[in-house]
Amino acid sequence: MSVEAPPGTAPAGASFGGFVAGHARAGRLVVQPRMGFGAPDAMRRGLLAVRAARATAAGTITLDSYTRVGAHDRAARALATGADLNGYPLVAHPEETTAAVVAGIAGEGFPVQVRHGSALPSAIVRTALRCGLSAAEGGPVSYCLPYSRVPLAEAVEDWRRSCELLARTPDAHLESFGGCMLGQLCPPSLLVALSVLEGLFFRQHGLRSVSLSYAQQTHHGQDAEAVAALRLLAGEFLGDLDRHIVLYTYMGVFPETARGAGALLEESVRLAVATGAERLILKTRAEASRIPTIEDNIVALEQAHAAALRFRGSAPPPPSPERTRETDVYREARALVDNVLDLSGDVGKAFQMAFSRGHLDVPYCLHADNRNRARTFLDGAGRLRWASVGSMPLKASPRESGNGREPLPESMELLRMLNWVRERFDNAAAGPPN
In terms of pLDDT, which residue wins out, 301 or 406? 301
248-262, 293-307, 388-402, range with the lowest pLDDT: 388-402
Q: Dmax over Cα atoms in the chain, in whole Å? A: 72
Which amino acid, 339? N
pLDDT of the residue at 408: 59
pLDDT of the residue at 5: 36
371-416 pLDDT, tens digit per residue, is 999 999 999 999 999 999 999 999 998 876 444 445 555 788 888 8
Q: How far apart are CA 264 and CA 285, in angstroms?
A: 9
In the chain, pLDDT over 70 holds for what percent of residues?
A: 93
- Best CA proximity match to 110, nearest among 40, 25, 64, 46: 46
pLDDT of the residue at 409: 59
Angle 278-141-57 from CA coordinates, rounded to 5°: 25
Mean pLDDT of 284-293: 85
What's this model's pTM, rounded to 2 decimal places?
Answer: 0.93
Domain boundaries, the chain: 1-133
In terms of pLDDT, which residue wins out, 84 or 407? 84
Strands 384-388 and 375-378: antiparallel
192-228 pLDDT, tens digit per residue, is 999 999 999 999 999 999 999 999 999 999 999 999 9
Q: How far apart are CA 99 and CA 132, in angstroms?
A: 7
346-358 pLDDT, tens digit per residue, is 999 999 999 999 9
Asked if the model's pLDDT at residue 364 lies above 80, the reply is: yes
Contact 125, 144 (CB under 8 A): no
Asked if the model's pLDDT at residue 2 lies above 70, the reply is: no
Q: How far apart are CA 380 and CA 401, in angstroms?
A: 10
Contact 113, 136 (CB under 8 A): yes
Strands 30-32 and 59-62: unpaired
4-17 pLDDT, tens digit per residue, is 433 323 334 458 99
pLDDT of the residue at 26: 95
Asked if the model's pLDDT at residue 432 lies above 60, the reply is: no
Q: How far apart are CA 280 and CA 196, in angstroms?
A: 18
pLDDT of the residue at 8: 29
pLDDT bucket at 369, cuts 50 / 70 / 90: very high
What beta strand segments (E) does 273-364 contain? 279-281
Contact 66, 78 (CB under 8 A): yes
Report the SS3 class of residue 256.
Answer: coil
**Class of residue 104 by CB neighbours under 10 A (exposed 0-12, middle 13-18, buried 19+):** middle
Q: How far apart are CA 432 and CA 434, in angstroms?
A: 7
Q: How far apart are CA 34 and CA 179, in angstroms?
A: 16
Which H helix or E strand runs over 174?
strand 173-176
pLDDT of the residue at 182: 83
Q: What number of residues does the chain have?
A: 434
In terms of pLDDT, which residue wins out, 365 or 411? 365
pLDDT bucket at 233, cuts 50 / 70 / 90: very high
41-52 pLDDT, tens digit per residue, is 999 999 999 999
pLDDT of the residue at 55: 98
- Best CA proximity match to 29, nearest among 302, 299, 430: 302
Contact 375, 394 (CB under 8 A): no
Asked if the model's pLDDT at residue 70 lies above 80, the reply is: yes
pLDDT of the residue at 411: 81
Contact 38, 88 (CB under 8 A): yes
Mean pLDDT, rounded, of the chain = 92
pLDDT bucket at 433, cuts 50 / 70 / 90: very low
Q: Please give the span between the terminal C-alpha atoms of the chain, in angstroms, as a whole number.
A: 49
pLDDT of the residue at 285: 87
pLDDT of the residue at 147: 87
pLDDT bucket at 268, cuts 50 / 70 / 90: very high
206: left (phi over 0), alpha (psi -120 to 50) or beta: left
pLDDT of the residue at 407: 59
